[in-house]
Amino acid sequence: MTSALSNIYGRLPVAFTHGQGVWLWDGEGKRYLDGLSGIGVSCLGHAHPGLVKAISDQAAKVIHTSNIYEVPLQEQLAQRIVAISGMTEVFFGNSGAEANEGAIKLARMFGSNKGIETPTIISMESSWHGRTIGTLAATGSDKARQGFGPLPAGFVQVRYNSIESIEKAAAQCPDVVAVLLEVLQGEGGIRPSDIEYLKALRKLCDERGWLMMIDEVQSGIGRTGKWLAHQWAEILPDVITLAKGLGGGVPIAAVGARGPAAGVLKPGHHGTTFGGGPLVCAASLAVLDAIEQQDLLKNAQAIGDHLQTRLHEALDAVDGVREIRGRGLMIGIELARPCAELVRSALTEGLLINVTRDNVVRLLPPLVLSREEADQIVDTLVPLIQQFLANKA
Ligand SMILES: *Cc1c(COP(=O)(O)O)cnc(C)c1O
């Protein structure tokens, strides 16, 4: 039978029927260690009892009402996000791209309020902010943009991790309103930015009156061992976006704002039918509860350090391994040549991983990963990488 699905994904030939913790099973009963969490989504692993209970209890009460009415769970979740982020207000959406669209709209309205008619948002080369028309304009990937022009004006990309590059772009463009970046690029190949760079960028945004907007869609919600990855640099951005891990598997996204970004969006400026509904907010509250109760920030940091240490020990001396980098449970292993085939060989061995930017093996395991499970990832992955590199291209 030919598939009725649009052919927009290159799918692996496996379907999972159920999961438990960091494990997934296919229809034949084969077990897989989930080293990817559905690209950083299933942060509590699979079938987490607290999350399952929150979703089923809420579904039995009410799933959807509307943003026409008050949604107490949305208010509660916003309070929690404010508490972990230092933002002062939050609005909800349904995906990472949609959250970034919201941030872009906020930045443009911020500019408009200052009388700027042609606002520019500075974003980064090799960044990833989503696949909508607006977020594609911010995303630094020619491959993702190809064929979808004309994209909206008002975006300029600069070299990642370079203040000089931002200053150069700003000199040619008087109407900058915001800088949008991931502090640890995900799709871009698990590329961290320097703490000093982030501190300098915070200062620059303050001096120039630009919004500092941080896309924490992949790096946020405990992934790096702090609630938000930028907290490693002890800075406070003006806008943050969250999605992926926020719902532990249900679609929910959030935009947080503070300081000059607070109060910019007013009734009638923005909205969404589904955003922040009772079901997804109940799920997200359960995710945040579990992260706190199970000490998962500490776990992500400790197990992430252990993973990186073991990967360094096993791979640093291997010819063809360029760099092992990342933070917490967001780890990339850059090889000297394209290695997409490793995804399939790992799958055969019962390990789920991903390769991004052609040659970076990406690990985003659930935050509940244990030391033994981390060892299993290393013990499966390292020989596969060694064999791959030993076979001449
Ligand atoms: C995945 C991702 C997005 C897009 O999120 P979607 O939910 O796929 O729209 C945006 N920014 C970053 C940093 C991401 O990793």
Nearest to residue 219, comparing CAs of 266, 187, 262?
187
Query: Which residue minimizes the CA distance to atom 10 of ligand 1?
Result: 129
| Among protein residues, the one whose CA lies closest to atom 6 of ligand 1 | 96
Cis amide linkage into residue 365, ω under 30° from 0: no
Gap between the Cα atoms of 49 and 242, Å rounded: 23
- What rounded mean pLDDT belongs to the chain? 97
**For residue 125, pLDDT beyond 70:** yes
How many angstroms does the Cα of residue 119 sit away from the middle of ligand 1? 23
- Indicate whether 109 pLDDT > 90: yes
Q: What tens digit of pLDDT does each residue of 233-265 get?
A: 999 999 999 999 999 999 999 999 999 999 999
Task: Quickly state the pLDDT bin for 393 (edges 50, 70, 90).
Answer: low
Mean pLDDT over 220-238 rounds to 98
Tell me the CA–centroid distance for residue 13 and ligand 1, in Å: 24
C-alpha 377: how far from chain center: 21
Residue 257: both structure tokens together = 């704002």
Ligand 1 atom closest to the Cα of residue 182 is 13
Q: Is the CB of 254 under 6 A from ligand 1?
A: no
Mean pLDDT of the region 40-61? 98
**From the CB of 186, is ligand 1 less than 6 Å away?**
yes
Segments making up each domain of the chain, as ranges: 16-47+295-390, 52-293
Q: Is the CB of 335 under 6 A from ligand 1?
A: no
pLDDT at position 68 = 97
With a 6 A CB cut-off, is 334 part of the ligand 1 pocket? Answer: no
Query: Are the beta carbons of 241 and 98 closer than 8 angstroms?
Result: no
* For the chain, percent of residues with pLDDT exceeding 70: 100
Q: How far, rounded to the nearest angstrom, does the alpha carbon of residue 93 sit from its chain's CA centroid? A: 15
Q: Is the pLDDT of residue 61 over 90?
A: yes
Q: For atom 11 of ligand 1, which residue has the closest CA? A: 129
- Give just the sign of the alpha carbon dihedral 210, 214, 215, 221: negative
185 touches ligand 1 (CB under 6 Å): no
The answer, yes or no, to whether any atom of ligand 1 lies below 6 A from the CB of 216, is no
Q: Is the CB of 243 under 6 A from ligand 1?
A: yes
Binding residues for N(2)-acetyl-L-ornithine: 131, 272
pLDDT of residue 1: 78
Phi/psi at 361 (nearest 5 deg)? -70, 125
Q: What is the topology classification, in CATH, of domain 16-47+295-390?
A: Aspartate Aminotransferase, domain 1 (3.90.1150)
pLDDT of residue 126: 97
**Alpha-carbon torsion angle 364, 367, 373, 376, nearest 10:** 10
Per-residue pLDDT of 288-331, as tens digits, reads 999 999 999 999 999 999 999 999 999 999 999 999 999 999 99
For residue 228, pLDDT over 80 is answered with yes
Is the pLDDT at 174 greater than 90, yes or no?
A: no
Could you tell me the pTM of the whole model? 0.98
Residue 383 CA to ligand 1 center (angstroms) comes to 31
Q: In the predicted model, what is the mean pLDDT of residues 355-365?
A: 98
Alpha carbon of 129 to ligand 1 centroid (Å): 5
Interval 265-286: pLDDT, tens? 999 999 999 999 999 999 999 9
Rounded distance, CA 361 to CA 381, Å? 10
**Which CATH fold would you assign to the domain 52-293?**
Aspartate Aminotransferase; domain 2 (3.40.640)
Atom nearest to 253 CA in ligand 1: 7
Q: Is the pLDDT of residue 392 over 80?
A: no
Percent with pLDDT over 90 in the chain: 98
Q: Are 217 and 243 within 8 A, CB to CB?
A: yes
Tell me the CA distances in angstroms from 7 to 141, 200, 354, one per residue in order: 21, 44, 20
Q: How far is the CA of 124 from the centre of ligand 1 (A)?
A: 15
- Regarding the beta carbon of 94 and ligand 1, being less than 6 Å apart is answered no
Phi, psi torsion values for 102, nearest 5 degrees: -60, -40
